[in-house]
Structure 1
Amino acid sequence: MPAADWRASRLVPRRAAVSRAQVETVTGRALGAFGVVFGAQTVPTAIDQSQYLADGGGVAMMAVLYGSIAALAAATFTRVAVRAAALAFAGAYVLALLAWPFLVVDPVSMSGQTPWLYYLCTVATTAAVVALPVAPAAAYTTAVPAVYGVVRLSPSGGAAGPLLAVLDTMYAVILGVVVLVIITMLRQAAVAVDAAQEAALERYDAVARQHANEIERVKVDALVHDSVLTTLLTAAAAQTPAERALASRMAGDAVRRLDEAAIEVPGVDDRVSLGVLVRRLRAGVAGFSAPFLVRVADTAGVELPVEAVDALSSAAMQAMVNSVQHADEANGRVRRELEVSGVGAGGCVIRVIDNGSGFDPATVPASRLGLRVSIEERMSNEGGSARVESAPGAGTRVTLAWPAGVEGGA
């Protein structure tokens, strides 16, 4: 890309890799949603079993746990203090589980019943997975269901048999481990994606810098060939006063373009009317010793980026210089035309046509900068296209289009 494009692209904020953030957001919101659903399902059982607890104990426990679930849901959906809210609920659940045997004042009535805390065990282990690193989360996932199993064996926990207590414990452990494994794998995959994205962006930055340097080199080569080298060749071959005057004007134009090359170019977002390009080309045509018939069509309302105008102007001028220097027939009667056409609101096609001696484009060596660099590469680098049609004795037609592909609509 041109230097101006490169500088402008550096001003655009680079999109950060957000895969890890997306995983955390999704898992957090899933935790908040399931916590609300599971909590709502336990409300009837919690109300019913509160009569077996000490006065105010059931209400206090429900207020703490359900309040923690509400705070967790709010945090996950606003993405504010998610880990703190998850850790708070996981800690509150452990305290409630440990306090349960001491709060139950009528163990006989709890016989055969399942404490309502059991239905929130998976929510608590998932909260621990979200809030804690892998090792502490794994310890919580196994230790908390084990504590519940012990409570389940006691009279306050329903006096369940050993087999039922073990089954309930293993069920809670399995669910917790599954959640732990899934979330851990998602996090690791997200970290790998983030690292790959960052590496790709770094490689892109390096390649873009190299590409910008190469484009600048090509532009300098084209400028030297278009202005300096062409002027020197024209001056060396000038024999008549008209040719010397042309060489003098070309020298002045070369100095002006070299001065402009040292000035900061406009931003890539700047656009100018197609009339600016037409006036620039007419001024260039006026300086040639050979006449060009200029035709202009559909330029009203057409605007092009500054870089595209520069590329079209430079390539068209080089094509006309080539025609003046190489297309003359022995009898000197060569008709030369310059056609400029607007396409839509932001396209342009330029044709430089002559009926001169012509040539075979396939035989032009790569070292010929006028065709390869000043015309073809210059247009390609700015998103345009250049097509050269010629044959020995059949004249030459150079078609320049910006953007590439619009020449069919001109």
Structure 2
Amino acid sequence: MPGADGRLARPADARRAVSGARVETITGRALGAAAIVFSLQTVPAVIAQAEALVQGAAAALGAVMYGAAVALAVAMIARIAERITAVVYAVAYAAALVAWPFLVEHPVALDGQAPWLYYLMTVATTAVVFAMPIGAAVGYTIVAPVLYGVVRLQPQGGSADPFTAAFETGYSIVLGMVVLVIVAMLRHAAAGVDAAQEAALARYDIAARQHANEIERVRTDALVHDSVLTTLLAAAAAGTSDEQQLAARMARDAVARLREAGTSAAEPDASIELNVLVRRLRAALTTFATPFTVRVVNAGGVELTVEAVEALYSAAVQAMVNSLQHADDGTRPTRRELRIRGVRATGCVIEIADTGIGFDPAMVPTERLGLRVSIEERLAGAGGRATIASRPGHGTTVTLVWPEGVDRA
């Protein structure tokens, strides 16, 4: 509902959303930490079982798995190629399981102990859950433990009895499935929160437009009351020639004002002050739980077309929503700014900047409509230009320019 100043009030239940990006960050970093911790736990077993393997095999196998674990941890912390690195780890683990029977030269030296690869099973299945679709993750979570169980029954796997092999296989499957369900539930919940935030913003935009239409209706009603009815009363009371001429002039003036009010609301090329756009963006910011620092320069005296204002507003709000959903990594605060600058009498440059995790724009899938349609194409269709400057670890800046080239003129 409108507040005392006539603007739409901030929703009472606005709160910081747990976005999908935050869930991926937390899951990935937990996976990276688990890879290091579980790998360190296997060191005694690697040393103890080294004499059972072909000479040099223990060092080579350890280098592969420990190197993959370190790469996985670094990728998750730096947010670079996380899914690719997770898939590489899972494939390396599966290859190590397949190769294990061929690398064991003295099975007796194992003394019935489980191959040390068993202790990394949870890391491998979690890596698949993080990186691959649900179907592939379920398949790997079942196949990898079964493969281990087959190896465990052989002399090269410690010649375990069927009950022990089945128990270790079932335990690995159950643990992997629990991790899979937890991650899937978190992702589903985060997707619902993101969708709800998008829907709330869309509803607010509709409400803001309706509110603006209501203000316009009130203005028109006031114009009719102040001009038309006053003119009619003056005409009805006119008894002399001078009074009739005055009433006629008032009627012509009222008709002109009504025509002007009608065309200004209908013409897409009509001019609107930049300060109107500034007020709309400030009103949109009140719906976000995370603050933006707003900087406005040279807005006075600048006028834009209706189409330009609508395009700039929609693109700027989408850019701010993208920052709220994807810029945070959960480990440090992210600063956000909205900078609006008037250029000459009919131009505008808007920058939405944050100090978040950043991303590689070239890696954004084409089906992601937030950047391509809601920002770039929306502004290009109105005669402007949108540019996105970002790289992992160095924040993001979205620059909206209207008209095209005004920032270079």
The answer to whether 1:132 aligns with 2:132 is: yes
Please give the alpha-carbon distance, in whole angstroms, between the structure 1 residues aligned to 2:64 and 2:241: 101
Q: 1:225 to 1:92 in 2, by over 3 A?
A: same
| Runs of 5+ consecutive residues of structure 2 not aligned to the other structure | 6-16, 265-269, 280-298, 301-409
Partner of 2:196: 196
Partner of 2:32: 32
What are the equivalent positions in structure 2 for 1:213-224 lying under 5 Å apart? Answer: 213-224=213-224
Please give the alpha-carbon distance, in whole angstroms, between the structure 2 residues aligned to 1:121 and 1:160: 17
Please give the alpha-carbon distance, in whole angstroms, between the structure 1 residues aligned to 2:57 and 2:137: 29
TM-score of the aligned structures, taking structure 2 as reference length: 0.55
Please give the alpha-carbon distance, in whole angstroms, between the structure 2 residues aligned to 1:138 and 1:270: 50
Kindly indicate whether the alpha-carbon contact (under 8 Å) linking 1:111 and 1:157 is maintained by their aligned counterparts in 2: no
What are the equivalent positions in structure 2 for 1:307-326 lying under 5 Å apart? Answer: none
The list of structure 1 runs, each at least 4 consecutive aligned residues, that deviate by more than 6 angstroms after superposition, is 238-260
Please give the alpha-carbon distance, in whole angstroms, between the structure 2 residues aligned to 1:56 and 1:254: 97
TM-score of the aligned structures, taking structure 1 as reference length: 0.54
Q: 1:23 to 1:212 in 2, by over 3 A?
A: same
1:268 to 273, 276, 281: 276
Q: 1:233 to 1:78 in 2, by over 3 A?
A: farther
Q: 1:211 to 1:58 in 2, by over 3 A?
A: same
CA deviations on 1:86-140 (whole Å, 9 max, x unpaired) are: 1111110000011111111221111132221111000111111112222221111
Partner of 1:114: 114
Kindly indicate whether the alpha-carbon contact (under 8 Å) linking 1:138 and 1:177 is maintained by their aligned counterparts in 2: yes
Bigger shift: residues 198-207 or 104-113: 198-207
The alignment yields a C-alpha RMSD, in angstroms, of 3.8
Partner of 2:46: 46
1:161 is displaced (CA, Å) by 2.1
CA deviations on 1:335-360 (whole Å, 9 max, x unpaired) are: xxxxxxxxxxxxxxxxxxxxxxxxxx
Kindly indicate whether the alpha-carbon contact (under 8 Å) linking 1:111 and 1:155 is maintained by their aligned counterparts in 2: no
Kindly indicate whether the alpha-carbon contact (under 8 Å) linking 1:126 and 1:180 is maintained by their aligned counterparts in 2: yes
Letter in 1 for 2:51: Q
Secondary structure at the counterpart of residue 179 of structure 1:
helix
Partner of 1:207: 207
Kindly indicate whether the alpha-carbon contact (under 8 Å) linking 2:20 and 2:187 is maintained by their aligned counterparts in 1: yes
Number of residues of Structure 1 aligned to a counterpart in Structure 2? 262
Kindly indicate whether the alpha-carbon contact (under 8 Å) linking 2:23 and 2:187 is maintained by their aligned counterparts in 1: yes
Please give the alpha-carbon distance, in whole angstroms, between the structure 2 residues aligned to 1:130 and 1:270: 41
Please give the alpha-carbon distance, in whole angstroms, between the structure 2 residues aligned to 1:242 and 1:121: 100
Letter in 2 for 1:229: L
Please give the alpha-carbon distance, in whole angstroms, between the structure 2 residues aligned to 1:207 and 1:66: 56
1:144 is displaced (CA, Å) by 0.8
CA deviations on 1:155-198 (whole Å, 9 max, x unpaired) are: 22222222222211111111001111111222233333333333
What are the equivalent positions in structure 2 for 1:9-408 lying under 5 Å apart? Answer: 19-230=19-230, 232-233=232-233, 237=237, 262=264, 264-266=271-273, 267-268=275-276
Please give the alpha-carbon distance, in whole angstroms, between the structure 2 residues aligned to 1:160 and 1:190: 43
Please give the alpha-carbon distance, in whole angstroms, between the structure 2 residues aligned to 1:156 and 1:220: 89
Letter in 2 for 1:268: V
| Runs of 5+ consecutive residues of structure 1 not aligned to the other structure | 6-16, 272-304, 307-410
Q: Whose Rg is larger?
A: 1
